[in-house]
Chains A and B, each alone.
Chain A
């Protein structure tokens, strides 16, 4: 009830208030809803075969030709411990981009489908509870309540710097 009360107190058009409003693209993996900041979404593509990269974890699907650039594609469903995800016509690849040490980097994530665009004010975002070891919250930055549904906010910075797709120190590859 408490958060419902706070949302009512603040008028909808209160853009000038201290808490900023960000837009999120929501997508689903299995029956879970996720949101990713819309400004870091470059495009959404239908699933297509990518070139597999040998000797990488199975959730790294491979590299995609994105207008002449080789872009890694990670199956988020497998990353989030879904065992045998299906690839059908609603399966989409969200191409994300982020700046890392001054360089723009691009990566794709495979999700079940994209649903909507939602607004979330920064004071609405709650911390991810500590689930302990068993639940993978690596890429979850926070939680937002949208009409009673919980949406997990995708931590793109953490994702882009993850050793799965990034050499932190290029010299120490040995």
Chain B
């Protein structure tokens, strides 16, 4: 029987990454000196699952590496080792390394061996620091890392193994024969089978194991390798492994004692897991080692209640459908339509509309995940960075349960990391500086997420030094981004940091200050159909507000008409729609037109010009309508012929069959079946600029 193990790799990687998150969160929560057994247990379990999976799927370096981590965790759990900042740091770094190894394995590449070695060495050292554990029990770990040559155990030219499985061995899908086969690969194997426990035939339980063995293995393999063969059955059997040369088996027995009860303890929690893992291992042995494969599919974990809701909805939909079908039949039978029928039909259609909407919402719910998936990385990041920068920072997370579309969560991670790093690096001051400014020594960074309208809002707030408007402005003038005579509002000044090539940090560090980041941050957020705003007060702090649509699949749109063509403006970017009067208009430079709205001069973009619409109804500005939108932090008026309805539109990518067209973020299908393009505000601005340039040149 051969099973393609590669098909399970994706699941393994997903589980492992989840496990890594658990480990990281757990490690972060560990307080020095306080051994919270439950926390350590959960870290241990996660590590153990990764190790087991990695072993099963033939990612040996990963399972070896995890094994060392596990040993350290094991000692912590037993209280043999205190939880200190150093060893949690080492473990955290190892988690990172493990993550890299897993990512490399997922991509089908080899991990950076140098780095792995270095981390493994670090772990070894951490393990070696404590003399409390017996030399013997440390030996398997040492030998794993430093190779067989350096291992004292390897000097014995073989092992004597007493293997007495429990009766239920077979029920856990374990089978001794593959184990022996594997041992034989390590060296010369002699088997001594004890049959004395086998009962008479009429009492024999076919599924029980009555056999036990004494094995002599002549090999250069170390204890670690031999132990590994029995990894899946060691808690289901009596197992003694002693070196052939060394006649006193005490050393190993002591190790066995320390290992077995712990495993038991862990098994109570998740017995099924081990069983599954052992199943996998068995299958893998038969099919040979699996090779790394780059699986491209992504999957999503959905709460069962969301799926139940979906099924309920579909049930209602079916009922509505049969009800409408019935109405149709009655009409057909009677060959006439009565007022009653029409009413019934209308009821049915209303119900159908409600069902459709609910179904749509439930389907969207399936893609929704709490934003904590994105937030959870920050405690770690803040801790590492604040240590590095010598700052004291308190991170507060609120609104982690706010749900967002999975794609949004995936894509918002990096921009958020960037903003938080900025707050840490530029925002929050050094402790002395804070004390001097009369602030508490420990700075605060708050991450907050909440729903507002159809959007999700994420706030990143620090109580640091705030942004210096004059400094920003001078820098912008230095770099030639704005001219000295430009009068900018506060908001526009803050917006400057999103310009490419703008960085105010005095020194470039690896944390921030390269000036490549903020423009990318804004672009990424805009690509998600959102926007980012800055509010800052010198000496008080800075707040960055990211506003994002809840989902990328559906958007609230305002349909506008330009000539015979319909376009969709995302409601999220609309500020207001107004009819303009001639006295509000001003000409700028003979060409551009602006109008005054509540003390603000707003440039006007004529959509029929930008889109070269031939048959626009209104060319003169005082006839049509102006939709004031926000784009890149400033207001712009879009001149259109008419406003049509507001509706939710399903976004269709233009790129899937066509290509990206400047000024449009996608297309949608309107109720009449025609296609309408969805406007992309920054793109429209850019188009307008380009057009103005060419018309000036001409």
Contacts and interface: CB of A to CB of B under 8 A. Distances in A.
Interface string B482-523: 000000000000000000000000000000000000000000
The 3 closest A-B pairs by CB, nearest first: A54-B611, A51-B675, A70-B667
B656 A55 contact: no
B657 A167 contact: no
B663 A70 contact: no
Contact of B674 (A51, A71, A103): A51
Given A68-B669, A70-B652, A106-B657, A55 B675 contact: no
16 contacts: A50-B675, A51-B565, A53-B677, A54-B663, A55-B611, A55-B687, A63-B654, A63-B677, A65-B669, A65-B675, A69-B652, A69-B657, A107-B657, A165-B658, A166-B658, A167-B660
B676 interface: yes
A116 B493 CA distance: 66
A69 B666 CA distance: 11
A56 interface: yes
A138 B674 CA distance: 31
A84 to B, nearest CB: 15
A163 B656 CA distance: 14
Contacts of A69: 652, 656-657
Interface string B643-673: 0000000001111111111111011010001
B306 to A, nearest CB: 24
Interface of A: 49-56, 62-65, 68-72, 103, 105-107, 163, 165-167, 170, 173
Contacts of A56: 661
Contacts of B575: none
Contacts of B687: 55
B565 A52 contact: yes
A51 to B, nearest CB: 4
A134 B588 CA distance: 46
Interface in B93-129: none
Given A54-B663, A55-B687, A71 B677 contact: no
B610 interface: yes
Contacts of B666: 70
A164 to B, nearest CB: 8
Looking at chain B's contact residues, is the secondary structure mostly helix, strand, loop, or mixed? loop
Interface in B661-698: 661-664, 666-667, 669, 673-677, 687
B655 A53 contact: no
Contact of A103 (B612, B656, B663, B673): B656
Contacts of A64: 675
A65 B650 CA distance: 13
Nearest to B614: A52
A68 B657 CA distance: 12
A167 B655 contact: yes
B259 interface: no
B663 A55 contact: yes
The interface centre, meaning the residue of B656, B659, B667 with most chain A CB atoms within 10 A of its CB, is: B659
B613 interface: yes
A107 to B, nearest CB: 6
Contact of B657 (A55, A72, A173): A72
B654 A55 contact: no
Contact of A55 (B658, B662, B674): B662
Given A50-B675, A54-B661, 13 more contacts: A51-B676, A54-B611, A55-B611, A55-B662, A56-B661, A70-B652, A70-B653, A70-B657, A71-B657, A107-B658, A165-B657, A165-B659, A173-B662
B675 A166 contact: no
B654 A70 contact: yes
B456 to A, nearest CB: 26
